[in-house]
Amino acid sequence: MSTKHNFISNVSPRKQSWTLVVRVVRAWFGQNYKNKKLPFSMELVLIDRKGDRIGASIRRTLIYKFKNQLQEGMVFTISSFNVASNIGSYRPSRNEYKLNFTINTKVKLSKTVLVPTNVYSFTPAPNVFNESYDNNYLVDVIGVMIGVGVEKEYERDGTYRFKCTLFGEYVEELNSFLSSGESQNVVVAIMLTKVKLFQAFLVQYKFSYIGIDPVTKFISFELQSSVDSVNADVAP
C-alpha cells in the first residue's frame, strides 16, 4: 500500500505522523559563536510540489546523521519529525511552523518530478520597503543591476532602488563577471536575504543565494562573511 503524502500547508503540531515530499532549496550550518569549529545546527529550507516553503532545523548532535543525505536541489521523502512554532529574526518562510528533525526522522531520496525546480518566491519591492513590513522574514527579490561601487545615497524616482551589500568570495566573482564585459541589463536574483530598512539595505548572509543572469548566462554564488564588501544598486 502506498504511503499518503501531506502538503506543507497541512502541517501542524496536532500530530507527528506527517510525510512530506520536498526539495531542499537551501542548506547551511548555524554558527556556534562559543565554538566556531562546531556548528550550532544544520538549517534547511524545503519546498513541496505546491510551491510552499517551510524551514527545518537539525540540532548539532544529529548533524552527523543527515548532513551527507540532504543535498541542495534534491527531492526527499521526509517523515517522523517534530513541528514547532516558526519564530526568530531569520525566518525562511511565512509558514506558522517549522520542522525539527529527531533521531527517528526518516529521509529517503525521491525520484518524483512533481516538485518544482524553480524555487524562487519573489516579493515585490514596494512590499519589502513598506514601513509595516516584518523584516524577521527572509525574502527573495529580483532586479536589474544599475551600478557597482562605493556606498551611494538611496534614491527613488518612480522606481525602487536599493543597495545590496555583498561579502566574501562573491566580491571577487562579481568583479570578475563584470570585467568580462557582460555588464548591460544584468538581472540579479537574491534568495533568502535580510532586509534592513535603514537606507534601504539588503544584506546577504551565509544562507543567501545569488543568481546573476545577463540575458544568456546564469551564474550562482554562495555568500560567506568577510571584511571586504561591495555595494550594488539594484532597480526592480
Q: What is the CATH number of the domain that holds 56?
A: 2.40.50.140
pTM over 0.85: no
Quick check: is 119 in a domain?
A: no
C-beta of residue 193 within 8 angstroms of C-beta of residue 204? yes
Q: What percent of the chain has pLDDT over 90?
A: 38
pLDDT (tens digit, 9 = 90+) per residue, 122-166? Answer: 888 778 777 788 888 888 887 777 766 654 444 445 566 667 766
* Full residue range of the structural domain in which residue 129 is found: 125-235
pLDDT (tens digit, 9 = 90+) per residue, 60-111? Answer: 999 999 999 999 999 999 999 999 999 988 898 999 999 999 999 999 999 9
In this predicted structure, the answer to whether residue 120 has a pLDDT above a threshold of 90 is: no
Domain stops at, among 109, 138, 162? 109
Distance (Å) of CA 12 to CA 7, 128, 201: 11, 27, 34
Domain stops at, among 84, 109, 134? 109
For residues 138 and 181, state if they share a domain: yes
Quick check: is 201 in a domain?
A: yes
For residues 62 and 133, state if they share a domain: no
For residues 103 and 137, state if they share a domain: no
**How many domains does the chain fold into?**
2
3-class DSSP assignment, residue 121: coil
In this predicted structure, the answer to whether residue 188 has a pLDDT above a threshold of 70 is: yes
Quick check: is 1 in a domain?
A: no
For residues 93 and 132, state if they share a domain: no
For residues 178 and 207, state if they share a domain: yes
Domain stops at, among 109, 144, 166? 109
Q: What is the pLDDT of residue 54?
A: 98
| pLDDT confidence bin for 224, thresholds 50/70/90 | very low
For range 165-182, the mean pLDDT: 73
For residues 87 and 139, state if they share a domain: no
Q: What is the pLDDT of residue 233?
A: 52
Instruction: Considering only CA atoms, give the Rg of the chain.
Output: 19
In this predicted structure, the answer to whether residue 225 has a pLDDT above a threshold of 90 is: no
Q: Which residue has the higher pLDDT, 227 or 81?
A: 81
Quick check: is 29 in a domain?
A: yes
Q: How far apart are CA 104 and CA 62, in angstroms?
A: 10
C-beta of residue 198 within 8 angstroms of C-beta of residue 153? no
Quick check: is 40 in a domain?
A: yes
For residues 82 and 142, state if they share a domain: no
* Residues 210, 221, 87, 6, Cα dihedral to 10°: 90
Q: How far apart are CA 89 and CA 194, in angstroms?
A: 9
